[in-house]
Amino acid sequence: GQNIDQPTEMTATEGAIVQINCTYQTSGFNGLFWYQQHAGEAPTFLSYNVLDGLEEKGRFSSFLSRSKGYSYLLLKELQMKDSASYLCAVRDSNYQLIWGAGTKLIIKP
Amino acid sequence: NAGVTQTPKFRILKIGQSMTLQCTQDMNHNYMYWYRQDPGMGLKLIYYSVGAGITDKGEVPNGYNVSRSTTEDFPLRLELAAPSQTSVYFCASSYSEESYEQYFGPGTRLTVT
């Protein structure tokens, strides 16, 4: 079967750095996505990885290792507005997105 | 551009009732999707469409129907509502299946009692 695992909840301090991990087992791989979802709102796109390595976009970076079926999202200089759920999704061989359950990130002052 | 719009925002249905969730996008995207999101679970694909007149089942299509008569609109029909269909429903669109990003509507929160 297809499976994506990520921690249910994480807590971090404002101004700090946090790493959210995602491991996956899917039938085929055509890219890995990270989305941000604030409570009661729609998911919004953060990052995309299809090749191994690190993609940096401002305070957010995403890493991929295809051989390990592993990705992480790194958030630096945390702000209170970063309190949200972070969803990991993999595009499978049918070009459909398989979604993890999301990691709820709580930022404390 | 309004992006992806959905109506209604909230709805309470009785068991056995029917309703249509509306979804419209103004980005001229070919691909449109319907997802449901249950608490503590990942988004599940219900149906998707690759263009006007073409639809296909996703992971959880039972109890739902869709149509795509225009590029802009992709309504989702619930024929005989059941408590198991209580969920938040998101419509999304993308230009192609290789697109980096899917654009999501604000969601419809549906309760079936």
- How far B98 CA sits from the closest chain A CA (Å)? 7
Q: Convert the pLDDT of each residue in B8-64 to its tens digit.
A: 999 999 999 999 999 999 999 999 999 999 988 889 999 999 999 999 999 999 999
For residue B99, what pLDDT band results from cuts at 50, 70 and 90? confident
pLDDT of residue B1: 79
> Could you give the angle at the alpha carbon of B105 between the alpha carbons of B28 and A79, nearest 5°?
120
Q: Determine the distance in angstroms separating the CA of B8 from the nearest CA of chain A, rounded to an integer.
A: 14
Q: If you compute the radius of gyration of chain A from its CA atoms, what whole number of angstroms results?
A: 13
- pLDDT tens profile A13-54: 999 999 999 999 998 999 999 999 999 999 999 999 999 999
Omega into B8 within 30° of 0, i.e. cis? yes
Of all residues in chain A, the percent with pLDDT exceeding 70 is 100
Q: Which two tokens stand for residue A4?
A: 């994506």
Distance of alpha carbon B95 from alpha carbon A102, whole angstroms = 25
Q: Which residue has the higher pLDDT, B5 or B2?
A: B5
Give A11-56 as a DSSP string: EEETTS-EEEEEEEE-SS-S-EEEEEE-TTS--EEEEEE-SSEEEE
Q: Do A43 and B104 touch (CB under 8 A)?
A: yes
Binned at pLDDT 50, 70 and 90, residue B82 comes out as very high
Contact B42 A4 (CB under 8 A): yes
